[in-house]
Amino acid sequence: MEEKDRLQRGILLTGASGFIGGAVLARLGRIPDLSLRTLVHRSDLPAGGPAGIEIVKADLSVPASLEGICRNIGTVIHAASYIGDDAERCQAVNARGTEALAAQARAAGVGRFIYLSNTAVYGFGIHRGAAEKESVVRPATAISRSRVQAEKAVLAAGGTVLRPTFVYGRGDRHFLPALIRALDRFPFLINGGRARLSVISVEELAEVIVALAAGGVTGTGGETFHVNDGRPVSLKGIVTSLARTTGTRRPRLSLPYPIARLVMGLAAGLLFDKDGRRSSAHRLFLVSRDHYYSAARLRRAVSWPAGLPFDSGLALCADWYRSFRRGPAGES
């Protein structure tokens, strides 16, 4: 059966103007004669998108604007989210918006609903190769709490939740750019950069999402999956690859996590930033301790092999990350 035939009826994609949603849009655009609808709030879609796409202006934080959005839709790919520190906006967009979208999908008889979450919902836990059932959800930030509520709505509707950890690639403005800015400012690694992390390129993540939409997952109560490239990489390995491909600073010093947190917090003024303090501390924790996960269940579900090693994947988008460097190439 052709891929476009397995993608029953039409597809609704949210977040198509964003980092991950844009990659999914590009991947769907390679399927001929696909009926594709996108939910757009403020931003325009990337240039060069697929022809014939239906664009619907709506706002996840305004449930009434979603009325009828899933009509004649067979699959929803929900990749839109608010990732700032405004707790009320997190609730309005991520939690209540997803609940309203899931309700519209149920009312329209949508067959598949795929929601993009994140392993950050596990809070301040440390994970080494953990499977989904071994990982306890303990959200520590406003965004993670709102994502947990969104996950519950999707799972209750029989949908599928995907939890990547760190996503990199062309269009990334948060993961590696934040690391590059930190390396430009602070000449040290935390705990020697020994923390091992799950990563995945945005192109591979988009491939997996489309394969999942095409193949579906059996199960009556909804499914949750970790999604990564199956090759944990250390923070030191990430920094080494960045230095080799983009000329980013390669620090020679190491600080233990508590001291690094204090130094970076004082330098950034985070001790006086009540709203952002906890989320910033959590992001720092996530790259300072082991956070890598088993994606074996998803690999079996969609017959998905291990992806490119991080250094190979980074080399394909090195020009994107070079634009985030402040100093001259090779500065250390």
Pairing of strands 73-78, 10-14: parallel
Picking from 62, 53, 152, 31, the residue whose alpha carbon sits closest to that of residue 102 is 152
Neighbours of 195 (CB within 10 A): 24
Percentage of the chain beyond pLDDT 90 is 70
**Spatial contact of 80 and 146, defined as CB atoms under 8 Å apart:** no
User: What is the pLDDT averaged over residues 230-243?
Assistant: 96
Query: Strands (DSSP E) along 131-234, which ranges?
Result: 160-163, 166-168, 188-190, 196-197, 199-201, 223-226, 233-234
pTM of the complete model: 0.91
Taking 60 as the threshold, does the pLDDT of residue 73 lie above it?
yes
Q: What is the per-residue pLDDT for 52?
A: 79
| 186 alpha carbon, distance to own chain's centre | 26
253, containing H or E segment = strand 253-255
Q: What is the per-residue pLDDT for 268?
A: 63
User: What is the pLDDT averaged over residues 224-230?
Assistant: 96
**Spatial contact of 8 and 113, defined as CB atoms under 8 Å apart:** no
Q: What is the per-residue pLDDT for 60?
A: 97
pLDDT in tens, 24-64: 999 999 888 889 999 988 766 765 566 778 999 999 999 99
Q: What is the per-residue pLDDT for 327?
A: 45
pLDDT in tens, 118-168: 999 999 999 999 999 999 999 999 999 999 999 999 999 999 999 999 999
pLDDT in tens, 240-292: 999 999 998 889 899 999 999 888 877 765 444 444 567 888 889 999 999 99
Q: What is the per-residue pLDDT for 2?
A: 54
Percentage of the chain beyond pLDDT 70 is 88
Taking 70 as the threshold, does the pLDDT of residue 3 lie above it?
no
Sequence ranges of the domains in the chain: 3-169+199-229+292-307
Taking 90 as the threshold, does the pLDDT of residue 1 lie above it?
no
Q: Supply 98's token pair.
A: 């997803």
Architecture of the domain made up of 3-169+199-229+292-307? 3-Layer(aba) Sandwich (3.40)
